[in-house]
Amino acid sequence: MIVSGSSSQSLAASLAAELDEPLAATAVEHFPDGELLASVPGLADGTTPDRAVVVASTVSADAHLELLQLQDAVREAGVDEVVTVLAYMGYARQDRAFDPGHPVSARAVARAISTGTDRILTVNPHEDAVCDFFDPSADAVDAASTLADPLPADLADPVFLSPDAGAVEIAETVRDAHGDGEVDYFEKTRHSGTDVEIAPSDVRVEARDVVVVDDIIATGGTMSEAVSVLRDRGAARTYVSCVHPLLAGTAYTRLARAGVEAVYGTDTIEGAASAVSVAPVLADEL
């Protein structure tokens, strides 16, 4: 049985179809005091599956809470094995204490999620090491190759760039899945949560199509800066691709104003840029 958090309904439905497993009916109530109640009414009919796969992306505090409740609901109903598909793990980028007195937020979140599950699958966390924060086994699935699917087949002499060295492997994976092209990366300096500086790499981009690839677009600051640099240097078409299209606030507008041709992401975070599903990649691991 596939159990969907409300932020992952499309992905959960695709996963149910891939695995040919039933998609459970779920309900989410909001109480006047702000509390949530996420439940799985379908379990009330007395038939308890051996395994429940809870699919969620913790894009907000409510989504975190909902996931914990759904895990608990299926356990309460007597399900033997609870698998959690954490398609996008919020707080994964807070993977260390940045200053004295700070928490390791990714660890705190992982510990809470660990208590209600026997296994965790997550998709391209910012660093794979975040899996070590979970107590049951946690595996990171690499869905980067799916990002090649929505790209135009006629990319001209393409360059696949990552905004920093940390994402260059994702850029390589997308290039390999596309078939051809050069790979390089920028040097990024972050000045604040929304302000980043991108130092161009030496790669020639003039009159070439460029695909900028990253694990996540959050505020769009990184990608819009990268696109601006590329346009200044005479790139032909620029596309941006990411696994997790969080696109917070005015991110999409920033990217459009910077001159991007298209924004392509997966359905780990469902929205306007979800051009491709990670369900087949996840199904292979389930």
Active centre residues (catalytic)? 188
Q: Which residues, numbered 24-83, are part of the site for ligand R5P (CB under 6 A)?
A: none
Looking at 13-21, 134-142, 158-166, 266-274, which segment touches ligand R5P (CB under 6 A)?
Answer: 158-166
User: Given the complex with ligand R5P, which of 51 and 93 has the nearer CB atom?
Assistant: 93
Tell me, rounded to whole angstroms, the distance of Cα 12 from its chain centroid. Answer: 14
| Beta-bridge partner residues of 30 | 36
Per the CB < 8 A criterion, the answer to whether 8 and 55 are in contact is yes
* Interior angle at CA 270, CA 8 and CA 68, nearest 5: 30
277 binds ligand R5P (CB under 6 A): no
User: Given the complex with ligand R5P, which of 67 and 247 has the nearer CB atom?
Assistant: 247
Looking at 108-116, 127-135, 147-155, 219-227, which segment touches ligand R5P (CB under 6 A)?
Answer: 219-227
Identify the residue among 40, 143, 159, 217 touching ligand R5P (CB under 6 A): 217
Helix residue ranges per DSSP H, 121-165:
none
1 Cβ contact list (under 8 Å, min separation 6): 21, 22, 23, 24, 42, 49, 51, 52, 53, 74, 79
Q: How far apart are CA 155 and CA 237, in angstroms?
A: 9
User: Given the complex with ligand R5P, which of 217 and 260 has the nearer CB atom?
Assistant: 217
221 binds ligand R5P (CB under 6 A): yes
Taking the complex as a whole, how short is the minimal distance between the CB of residue 143 and ligand R5P, in angstroms?
Answer: 15
Identify the residue among 57, 117, 219, 274 touching ligand R5P (CB under 6 A): 219
Identify the residue among 95, 209, 215, 267 touching ligand R5P (CB under 6 A): 215
* Interior angle at CA 85, CA 43 and CA 285, nearest 5: 110
94 binds ligand R5P (CB under 6 A): no
* Contact flags string 159-198 toward ligand R5P, x per CB under 6 A: ----xx-xx----------------------------x--
- Closest to 266 (Cα-Cα) out of 184, 155, 174, 180: 174
Residue 211 tokens, joined: 């695909």
20 Cβ contact list (under 8 Å, min separation 6): none
Give, to the nearest 10 degrees, the angle between helix 251-258 and helix 221-232: 0
Q: How many residues are given for the chain?
A: 286
Identify the residue among 216, 226, 227, 255 touching ligand R5P (CB under 6 A): 216
Q: Tell me which residues touch ligand R5P (CB under 6 A).
A: 163-164, 166-167, 196, 214-222
